[in-house]
Structure 1
Amino acid sequence: MKNNIIPAIRLTLVCLVFFCGIYTMAVWAVAQLAPGQGKGFTITENGKTYHINVGQSFTSDSYFWSRPSAVDYDAAGSGGSNFGPTNPDHLAEVEARIDTFLVHNPGISASQIPSDLVTASGSGLDPHISVQAAKVQINRIAAERNISELSLEELIDKNTEKPLLGLFGTERINVLKLNLDLESLK
């Protein structure tokens, strides 16, 4: 038994030193070489700093709305609702989001609402919406800001991110960047 315990204790101590010290310092050193020195991707607009890779809450009628968040956009802990697609609580929540969207966007039918505007992402922090989700909001924002729909479509086109290497993923729009550009239209 002594032959097994001593090597196990040694291995535990080696792993503690390596993973708590050496590995942590190596990850920290690599992060210092990255843009933002490991603090994430940020942009500063009008003296305020925003994290562009974390979802933000936009609920005003004069802005493009974000994807709902199961964690209330709290970057300290990401997570989904863990409800299945047939869970009654989940269905009621989605139905309430659809109803809210329809109230704020007259002239839109429930079938025109993209799923990413009424369902939370797996992390609850997705900063992107689909191009369709942005376009379905154009009428509301144009009326609220007294801006032409054409200029909003151009703004959406300008902020559309293409798939990686033209192959991986879908076209998407970072809602924070889109809304900051929307503010600059004033």
Structure 2
Amino acid sequence: MTSTYITLFCVIFFGSQLDLQRVQGYTLMQHLAQQANSLQYGLNLAKKYNIRGSSARIAFSARTSSNLAYSSGNIVSFPYVITNQGYAFKNSKYFQAPHSGMYVFSWSIRTVSSGNKAYTSIRVNGSIKQQSYCYTGTSSYSDSCSTTVVLSLNKYDKVSIYSDSSSAYVAATYSSFAGWEL
């Protein structure tokens, strides 16, 4: 019991003594209050500009699973999801920005057999931002085309890969779509 009183006396006495001591013209309590205000200001800035820790990063990667032909204006589907950190890639077809920011997107389309082609584009809310063209020509071989783009997105913007040709032939497991936050 006596040790409790001694501890309490020391905390009150030395605490009040520390508060009376000056650190660069301020009492210790004033100095700590200023530090708390600075930390709060920093947290408010981080919230305003969407600055987060690495655990909140957004990234996805998905690929096709079978040979499909897409007519013009249709969204290319990437049903085999490899990574979906932050769960922003939805329904195998589109990425939805969870917050405003800069994002990188890359897609690769492979066509096979003679004369097959694939005009594709990346669109934000239906508006074309970048296009790609893949054509096997007269050979019996395949052709792969890749494109990467950096986009500034607003919260809830939707990003998809569209077919822009009358029949975009997309080959099995060789076509992919990926994106991540800068």
Higher strand fraction (1 or 2): 2
| TM-score in terms of structure 2 length | 0.30
| TM-score in terms of structure 1 length | 0.30
Q: Greater relative contact order: 1 or 2 (C-alpha under 8 angstroms, separation 6 or more)?
A: 2
